[in-house]
């Protein structure tokens, strides 16, 4: 891939400054960007290309801190241009077309084009239609490729996601469309597949015969403080579950694809997401708990209640925490509970998958020893550390036959060179190389929304079920503990010091 014009819509936004730009910088620093890669930013603000370049430089300085190298940044931004314009206004696309033509005339006749839509989902169809109207996305012999990346959330419900898929398909081929979920850019999430399918020891026990239950946690300490408007209309369930948590769930539960190519992986993931059902005993409270943080303290810092967040209604019923009890109705997973939880303003930042295996038969141990035997737990750590841990039972050196729980642990940073990554690098690189394996297909997105529909349609809106309050800095609402206690189980503690 020798050249690429990267057009970023929403170029002055937070996502671009915090994540996308540092990722482009990291790719440039490691020589993974095409030789001739030029940026064009599109946004509403009035500014010159010079001022745009300067603001990108400032953003890199701020977000890369110690790692900033002016030479790399200058090389990346040297030919960056800015096109001011409203996305509803056809003139914007005419100006963009002129800027692209000017760039291409000065370099090569044909150049690949990547359009990155760092915009809210309700604008995707407008932008893509206008790009097509101005002939910016048509692929012809000798013109190079044209691809479009869209950010999450992809729709806000099954119906809106289906409508969006249809609207985009009017003007773009599915292989031109890259639906991003930055969790798929995380090495530890990608590693789930490698761990499962690259090690002969796991697949034979990766099923209902050996696994008691699975917990997937994405706990955040961050609050909704700076995103009140978006968050209050969205909530934890829509913001995190059909996308990030389901990407993890799909990696854990998918059947082995025949090849690791985009089509086989997408089909395997869509199939397993299509088998997700609410768990429990038929009551809605068995399968879903919603929470909302009240005032509290995280690591000694006072935090306001969610309802005191700017742009959040003082009587808001939006959940900032959600816990789900699910089943994956496939022969491999039949009746195995999958407990998922995610929330903001919690005690610790922790994202992990914990796979608890069935206990070994205890009869050869004395009653006292048998009580000390714990279930084996395989923990796939995603954040803040990336690694894998296994909880085992071992004999302590104590002369009395005592049994204790021990941990085997591996951390990525101990084995592989620390890679400077924000998570978008691999995704952007893969898109430029035409590999959509780590992106979401239309079927995957729709299967994700279909699986949460029983929770979003009626249940959440009814107001009958919470959100239950939990103090900022806690582990979430007590009702979420009850969700597992009913099955005789408990969540893994969020804080390291509380984990046995």
Residues tagged active-site:
244
* Interacting residues with ligand BG6 between 348 and 377 (CB under 6 A): 351
Burial class (CB in 10 A: 0-12, 13-18, 19+), 412: middle
Check if the beta carbon of residue 427 is closer than 8 Å to that of residue 180: yes
User: Distance between CA atoms of 62 and 214, rounded to whole angstroms?
Assistant: 39
Strand pairing of 403-411 and 387-395?
antiparallel
- Shortest Å, Cβ 192 to ligand BG6: 15
Q: Which is nearer to ligand BG6, 239 or 430 (CB)?
A: 239
Burial class (CB in 10 A: 0-12, 13-18, 19+), 337: buried
Q: Which is nearer to ligand BG6, 120 or 458 (CB)?
A: 120
What x-and-dash track marks residues 222-261 binding ligand BG6 by CB under 6 A? x----------------x----------------------
User: Distance between CA atoms of 169 and 165, rounded to whole angstroms?
Assistant: 6
Q: Which is nearer to ligand BG6, 182 or 269 (CB)?
A: 182
- Shortest Å, Cβ 182 to ligand BG6: 6
- Shortest Å, Cβ 309 to ligand BG6: 13
Please tell me whether residue 104 binds ligand BG6 under the rule CB under 6 A. Answer: no
Distance of CA 417 to the CA centre of its chain: 23
- Shortest Å, Cβ 310 to ligand BG6: 16
Burial class (CB in 10 A: 0-12, 13-18, 19+), 141: exposed
- Shortest Å, Cβ 246 to ligand BG6: 13
Residues 6+ apart with CB under 8 A from 482: 289
- Shortest Å, Cβ 248 to ligand BG6: 11
Please tell me whether residue 425 binds ligand BG6 under the rule CB under 6 A. Answer: no
The residue nearest ligand BG6 at its CB is 239
* Interacting residues with ligand BG6 between 176 and 195 (CB under 6 A): 182
User: Distance between CA atoms of 129 and 459, rounded to whole angstroms?
Assistant: 35
* Interacting residues with ligand BG6 between 293 and 352 (CB under 6 A): 351
Check if the beta carbon of residue 343 is closer than 8 Å to that of residue 476: yes
Q: Which is nearer to ligand BG6, 241 or 305 (CB)?
A: 241
Q: Which is nearer to ligand BG6, 238 or 391 (CB)?
A: 238
Please tell me whether residue 220 binds ligand BG6 under the rule CB under 6 A. Answer: yes
Measured in degrees and rounded to the nearest 5, phi and psi for residue 250 equal -65, -40
- Shortest Å, Cβ 106 to ligand BG6: 37
Separation in Å, CA 72 to CA 76, 78, 141, 153, 419: 6, 10, 33, 32, 17
User: Distance between CA atoms of 311 and 232, rounded to whole angstroms?
Assistant: 8
User: Distance between CA atoms of 298 and 332, rounded to whole angstroms?
Assistant: 40
Question: How many residues bind to ligand BG6 according to rule CB under 6 A?
Answer: 7
**Buried b / exposed e along 279-289 (16+ C-beta atoms within 10 A):** bbeeebbbbbb
Binding footprint of ligand BG6 on the chain (CB under 6 A) = 152, 182, 220, 222, 239, 351, 383
């Amino acid at each position: 891939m020798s050249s690429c014009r990267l057009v970023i819509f929403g170029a002055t936004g937070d996502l671009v400054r915090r994540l996308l730009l540092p990722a482009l910088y990291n790719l440039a620093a490691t020589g993974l960007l095409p030789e001739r890669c030029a940026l064009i930013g599109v946004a509403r603000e009035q500014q010159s290309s010079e001022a745009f370049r300067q603001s990108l430089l400032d953003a890199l300085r701020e977000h890369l801190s110690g790692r900033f190298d002016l030479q790399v940044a200058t090389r990346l931004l040297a030919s960056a241009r800015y096109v001011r314009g409203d996305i509803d206004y056809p003139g914007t696309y005419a100006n963009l077309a002129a800027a692209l033509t000017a760039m291409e005339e000065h370099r090569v006749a044909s150049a690949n084009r990547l359009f990155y839509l760092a915009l809210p989902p309700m604008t995707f169809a407008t932008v893509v239609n206008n790009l097509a109207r101005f002939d910016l996305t048509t692929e012809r012999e000798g013109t190079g490729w044209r691809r479009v990346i869209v950010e999450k959330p992809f729709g806000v419900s099954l119906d809106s996601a289906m409508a969006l898929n249809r609207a985009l398909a009017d003007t773009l081929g599915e292989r031109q469309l890259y639906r991003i979920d930055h969790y798929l850019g995380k090495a530890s999430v990608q590693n789930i597949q490698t761990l499962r399918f690259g090690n002969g020891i796991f697949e034979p026990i990766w099923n209902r015969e050996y696994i008691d239950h699975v917990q997937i946690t994405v706990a955040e300490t961050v609050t909704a403080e700076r995103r009140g408007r978006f968050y209050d209309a969205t909530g934890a369930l829509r913001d995190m579950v059909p996308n990030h948590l389901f990407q993890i769930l799909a990696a854990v539960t998918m059947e082995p694809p025949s090849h690791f190519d985009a089509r086989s992986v997408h089909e395997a993931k869509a199939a397993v997401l299509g088998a997700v059902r609410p768990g429990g005993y038929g009551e809605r409270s068995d399968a879903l708990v919603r929470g909302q943080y009240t005032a509290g303290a995280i690591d000694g810092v006072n935090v306001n209640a969610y309802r005191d967040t700017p742009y959040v209604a003082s009587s808001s019923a939006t959940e900032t925490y959600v816990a789900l009890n699910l089943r994956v109705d496939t022969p491999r997973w039949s009746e195995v509970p999958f407990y998922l939880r995610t929330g903001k303003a919690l005690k610790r930042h922790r994202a992990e998958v914990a796979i608890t295996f069935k206990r070994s038969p205890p009869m050869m141990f004395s009653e006292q020893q048998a009580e000390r035997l714990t279930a084996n737990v395989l923990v796939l750590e995603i954040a803040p550390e990336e690694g894998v841990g296994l909880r085992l039972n071992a004999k302590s050196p104590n002369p009395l036959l005592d049994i204790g729980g021990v941990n085997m642990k591996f951390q990525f940073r101990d084995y592989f060179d620390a890679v400077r990554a924000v998570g978008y690098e691999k995704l952007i690189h893969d898109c430029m190389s035409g590999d959509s394996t780590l992106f979401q297909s239309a079927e995957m997105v729709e299967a994700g929304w279909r699986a949460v529909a029983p929770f979003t349609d009626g249940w959440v809106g009814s107001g009958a079920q919470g959100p239950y309050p939990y103090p900022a800095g806690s582990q979430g609402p007590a009702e979420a503990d009850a969700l597992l206690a009913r099955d005789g189980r408990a969540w893994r503690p969020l804080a390291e010091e509380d984990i046995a």
